Chain A
Amino acid sequence: MKPQDIRNVVEAALMVAEQPMSVDRIIALFPPELGEPPTRELMGTILEDLRQEYVGRGIELQEVASGFRVQVRAELAPWVNRVWQERPPRYSRALLETLAIIAYRQPITRAEVEAIRGVAVSSQLLKTLLERDWLRIAGHRDSPGHPAVYATTRGFLDYFNLKTLNELPPLTEPPQMRQVDLEFLQKTQDPARDTSAVLDLDPAACSQQAGDLVEGKSVVGVGLS
């Protein structure tokens, strides 16, 4: 197969696929009976060429957590959204705050989310997020009651157009503190929680999580710091 033909197959496959396609899935489209399947290196080059080709067009090739996706450029949303009658959904502050806390502090228990927000997190809200496949129960903490710890999924990253959690906008630093304020805060600082880290994972919770992970689901978020 000529590289141009392979390129056409890849482009067509990405266009008809309803979900992002990983490099492995794209390579699997080429059965060995029809000759040597393209290598990962070649596929990388082809995808990069394709991405370059779409520069300056209405569509783009975007890599998200689950793989590659051909999508309409975000700048065109004001016009493109008029194609549909219904408006895109808006999310409540409760949903966005809960999602943000879990995204930056995962794996985290419901009680810990509630401690940060100062209000109870409704069961319905968590159920919605689990059903939408934005959250998953990553395991259970080895503490009284064995509470579930929540983590975000690939589906969450795909939805928010992200490849990894590192691409989330950084958390704001606490406001400029004077020396006196710092001393005053440090005195009461809980050593277990370092608020300056973008993602701070409790090592004990992580190893717990690794043990409890459901097979086939990859660990998104562990290993980031």
Chain B
Amino acid sequence: MTGSCFTGKVLALARLTASGSQSPPERERPLARVGGVPLSEIPRDLYIPPHALEVILESFEGPLDLLLYLIKRQNLNILEIPIAEITRQYMRYIELMEKLRLELAAEYLLMAAMLAEIKSRMLLPPPADLEEQEDDPRAELVRRLLEYERFKVAADRLDAIPRQGRDVHAVVVEFPGRVAPRWEAQISLGEVVEALIGVLDRAELFAHHHVQREELSVRERMGIVLDRAAVDRFIPFRAVFSIQEGRAGVVVSLLALLELLREALIELVQSEPFGPIYLKVSE
């Protein structure tokens, strides 16, 4: 993590210097040579993985961190910040972020405004009246920077303290004699039944319903019976059914028969009591 953060800062500043107006001679020098042709500008369509941009943004913990970095980098005393210079560098960083189309955090813009304010106040001539003399406009910023720096150091020191799971590990010895606590449960039959009802209720939710197309159509069977009756004139009742079709087939045949009877398309006839029943087309 630290490694990548550092790279992020270096990358960010390398780009800052490359696009900076502070060093015009460097600007003339080609950035690179591609096939012998000097390249003085970074190609617009140069692919920068989005992840790398995040690294640049995340390498600083906010505007105070960035300011501290800029001050430290130049070995400047926090108490004597050259506001003009620091503001210029800070604004360049902001511009870079804008160029990279990063969403600028509001805190960074607030700091930019504050730097600009301090700069403008320092340009004003000091008031003649000593009683009303203002404090150094940098004072508040300096105090915040100093305070933040103390906690930056404190965070590093906190990180260095031996901590559990990284530096110290609690000793936990296996105890084979350990008996898991047991207790006799007193359960009434009613509770068992109630539990069972609960299980059944839940099982109900998992019941599968197979919805299938009706393979045996009553209408179709009606047609078949009618066709046969037209040819054979008298059909024995038992011949209407084919046992091979199983129970469902027999039921469909019966339904077809009853439907035909209801529609008065066929008649059932019987010559004698308990004699065979025949089916014939209605006259």
Tell me which residues across on chain A come within 8 A of B94, comparing CB atoms: none
- Which one of A39-47, A111-119, A136-144, A211-219 is at the interface? A111-119
Q: Write the B132-146 contact mask toward A (1 if CB under 8 angstroms, else 0).
A: 000110011011101
Q: Write the A60-103 contact mask toward B (1 if CB under 8 angstroms, else 0).
A: 00100000011111100100110000001111111011011101
**Quick one: which of B93-137 are within 8 Å of A by CB?**
105, 107, 111, 135-136
A14 to B170, CA, bound (A): 10
**Quick one: which of B146-203 are within 8 Å of A by CB?**
146-159, 161-175, 178
Instruction: Among B79, B107, B166, point to the contact of A181 (Cβ < 8 A).
Output: B79
In the assembled complex, B61 has its CB within 8 A of some CB on chain A: yes
In the assembled complex, B267 has its CB within 8 A of some CB on chain A: no
Tell me which residues across on chain A come within 8 A of B157, comparing CB atoms: 100, 169
Q: Write the A181-205 contact mask toward B (1 if CB under 8 angstroms, else 0).
A: 1001101110000010000000000
- A sample of 5 inter-chain contacts (CB < 8 A) reads A119-B62, A159-B164, A160-B164, A188-B140, A188-B143
In the assembled complex, B70 has its CB within 8 A of some CB on chain A: no
A residues lining the B interface (CB < 8 Å): 12, 14-18, 59, 62, 69-74, 77, 80-81, 88-94, 96-97, 99-101, 103-104, 115-120, 158-162, 168-169, 171-172, 174-175, 177-178, 181, 184-185, 187-189, 195
Q: How far is the CB of B158 from chain A (nearest CB, A)?
A: 5
B171 & A118 in contact (Cβ 8 Å cutoff): no
In the assembled complex, B78 has its CB within 8 A of some CB on chain A: yes
A12 to B148, CA, bound (A): 46
CB closest residue in chain A, given B137: A188
The 6 closest A-B pairs by CB, nearest first: A119-B62, A118-B64, A88-B166, A15-B173, A96-B155, A188-B139
CB closest residue in chain A, given B175: A16
B169 & A80 in contact (Cβ 8 Å cutoff): yes
CB closest residue in chain A, given B68: A118
In the assembled complex, B259 has its CB within 8 A of some CB on chain A: no
Instruction: Among B163, B173, B175, point to the contact of A161 (Cβ < 8 A).
Output: B163
Tell me which residues across on chain A come within 8 A of B139, comparing CB atoms: 184-185, 187-188
A59 & B171 in contact (Cβ 8 Å cutoff): yes
Tell me which residues across on chain A come within 8 A of B169, comparing CB atoms: 71-72, 77, 80
Q: Write the B39-67 contact mask toward A (1 if CB under 8 angstroms, else 0).
A: 00000000000000000000001111100
In the assembled complex, B1 has its CB within 8 A of some CB on chain A: yes
A74 & B155 in contact (Cβ 8 Å cutoff): no
A71 & B168 in contact (Cβ 8 Å cutoff): yes
A118 & B154 in contact (Cβ 8 Å cutoff): no
B residues lining the A interface (CB < 8 Å): 1, 61-65, 77-79, 105, 107, 111, 135-136, 139-140, 142-144, 146-159, 161-175, 178
Tell me which residues across on chain A come within 8 A of B146, comparing CB atoms: 174-175, 195
A89 to B168, CA, bound (A): 13
A71 to B54, CA, bound (A): 39
B172 & A158 in contact (Cβ 8 Å cutoff): no
A116 to B146, CA, bound (A): 10
Tell me which residues across on chain A come within 8 A of B173, comparing CB atoms: 12, 15-16
Instruction: Among A104, A168, A174, point to the contact of B151 (Cβ < 8 A).
Output: A104
A96 & B159 in contact (Cβ 8 Å cutoff): yes
Tell me which residues across on chain B come within 8 A of A188, comparing CB atoms: 135-136, 139-140, 143
Q: A172-B153, A185-B142, A185-B143 are in contact. Are A72 and B168 (CB under 8 A)?
A: yes
CB closest residue in chain B, given A90: B1
CB closest residue in chain A, given B172: A18
Tell me which residues across on chain A come within 8 A of B62, comparing CB atoms: 117-119
A172 & B154 in contact (Cβ 8 Å cutoff): yes
B1 & A118 in contact (Cβ 8 Å cutoff): no
A158 to B164, CA, bound (A): 8
CB closest residue in chain A, given B110: A118
Among B136, B155, B174, chain A packs the most CB atoms within 10 A around the CB of B155
Tell me which residues across on chain B come within 8 A of A162, comparing CB atoms: 161
Instruction: Among A72, A88, A94, A181, point to the contact of B61 (Cβ < 8 A).
Output: A94
A99 to B162, CA, bound (A): 16
